[in-house]
């Protein structure tokens, strides 16, 4: 069968499900990862980028020669920049300076105007999301073709994109036999859109948040309180607030996952299943295993394989860094 795409945009989505052998054996369930790292920009965030740009175009906020501004941990910025390049938009990205060098280099190498800022809590005006919003306003006077703040956290076009694409794909790929879905939340778009779609199809599908230590969302779901404990080396997931996209999510419960639980899963996947995945994937897979143990054997559970490990080499495979933090290391380094 001929599979030809007319452009870059058409290659986003329709990613396969991959059975996770060890996770399935541990639980007696069929645990599948949706291989979002196969999107052309290398992550699940290509879907959000496409949805946010389509929304801006439909609202006539931008035309060729215009500019997209966004605050990001990296992956959404990469998606926005590559899509922007293909559509004739310039891209300015605001990112915390503590993100991996690999992501900074990627953004610079694909032509983004990268602005690094020190990490600040959302309550601070210096927070990267707020800086991006202000910067977009400032730049509007300098571009006649439109300057758009993508606002991935609170622009619900993000969740809508997953409701219209990722959710239906999971439903079709499992032939409607999905019993559980679990993933982390950064913006809330992925879990917001997918959970809404799956719950509409079958209200009994169990939806669980897998939250990294240091995020406040686990306590919010379980106890109704935005309170964080501990910390994690994962990037791009976890939150201190309920975003507009996360508010759309239909969630039954949550798991708190620390790096001691997630990192060994990632190292075993590389060694035994040939999957070299990013840090948030470890949180997702740990959550899928927890959900499998909770709902019992024989069930079908899906999670998201967000991106690959190459964006996190300087953390995941840095023995000194890991040992200083008291974290597990891969056996081969």
For the segment 121-167, what is each residue's pLDDT rounded down to a tens digit?
999 999 999 999 999 999 999 999 999 999 999 999 999 999 999 99
DSSP for residue 307: B
Cα–Cα distance measured from residue 146 to residue 143, given in angstroms and rounded to the nearest whole number:
6
Q: How far apart are CA 282 and CA 197, in angstroms?
A: 24
Residue 36 has pLDDT above 70, yes or no: yes
Confidence at residue 144, expressed as pLDDT on a 0 to 100 scale: 95
Predicted confidence at residue 63, as pLDDT, reads 97
Is the predicted pLDDT of residue 244 greater than 90, yes or no?
yes
Locate tokens 């990001």: which residue?
A: 72
In the block, tokens 């840095």 appear at 318
Q: Residue 240 pLDDT more than 70?
A: yes
pLDDT at residue 37 in the model: 98
Q: Known catalytic residues?
A: 45
User: Helix H segments across the chain?
Assistant: 21-27, 45-58, 75-87, 101-109, 128-139, 157-164, 166-173, 189-201, 217-223, 259-273, 279-295, 313-316, 319-324
Mean pLDDT of 277-295: 98
Q: Is the pLDDT of residue 43 over 80?
A: yes
- 140-174 burial: b if 16+ Cβ within 10 Å, else e: eeeeeebbbbbbbbbbbbbbbbbbebbbbbbbebb
CB burial string 181-219: b at 16+ within 10 A, e below: bbbbbbbbbbbbbbbbbbbeeeeebbbbbbbbbbbbbbb
For the chain, state the CA radius of gyration.
19
Per DSSP bridges, beta strands 300-305 and 253-257 are unpaired
pLDDT digits (tens, 9 = 90+) for 163-192: 999 999 999 999 999 999 999 999 999 999
Mean pLDDT across the stretch 59-66?
97
What mean pLDDT value characterizes the chain? 97
Region for 192 from its dihedrals, namely left if φ exceeds 0, alpha if ψ lies in -120 to 50, beta otherwise:
alpha
Give pLDDT, residue 3. Answer: 84
Task: Report the alpha-carbon distance of residue 281 to residue 184 in Å, rounded.
Answer: 9
């Amino acid at each position: 069968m001929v599979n030809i795409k007319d452009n870059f945009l058409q290659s986003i989505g329709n990613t396969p499900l991959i059975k996770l052998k060890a996770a399935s054996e541990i639980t007696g369930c069929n645990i599948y990862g949706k291989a979002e790292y196969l999107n052309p920009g290398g992550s699940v965030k290509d879907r959000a980028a496409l949805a946010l740009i389509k929304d801006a175009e439909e609202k006539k906020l931008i035309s060729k020669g215009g500019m997209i501004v966004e605050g990001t941990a990296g992956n959404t910025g990469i998606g926005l920049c590559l899509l922007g390049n293909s559509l004739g938009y310039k891209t300015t990205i605001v990112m915390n300076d503590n993100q991996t060098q690999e992501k900074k280099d990627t953004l610079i190498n694909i032509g983004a105007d990268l602005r690094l800022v020190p990490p600040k809590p959302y309550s601070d005006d210096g927070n990267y999301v707020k800086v991006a919003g202000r910067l977009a306003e400032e730049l509007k006077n300098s571009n006649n073709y439109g300057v758009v703040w993508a606002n991935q956290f609170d622009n619900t076009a993000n969740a809508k994109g997953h409701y219209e694409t990722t959710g239906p794909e999971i439903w079709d790929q499992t032939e409607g036999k999905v019993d559980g879905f679990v993933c982390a939340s950064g913006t809330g778009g992925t879990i917001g859109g997918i959970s809404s779609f799956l719950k509409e199809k079958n209200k009994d599908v169990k939806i669980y948040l897998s939250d990294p230590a240091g995020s406040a969302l686990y306590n919010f779901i379980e106890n109704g309180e935005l309170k964080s404990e501990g910390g994690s080396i994962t990037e791009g997931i976890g939150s201190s607030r309920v975003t507009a996209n996360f508010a759309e999510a239909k969630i039954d419960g949550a798991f708190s996952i620390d790096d001691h639980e997630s990192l060994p899963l990632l190292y075993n996947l590389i060694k035994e299943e040939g999957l070299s995945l990013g840090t948030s994937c470890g949180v997702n897979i740990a959550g899928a295993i927890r959900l499998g143990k909770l709902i019992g054997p024989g069930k079908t559970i899906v999670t998201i394989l967000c991106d690959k490990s190459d964006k996190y080499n300087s953390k995941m495979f840095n023995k000194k860094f890991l040992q200083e933090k008291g974290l597990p290391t891969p056996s081969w380094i």
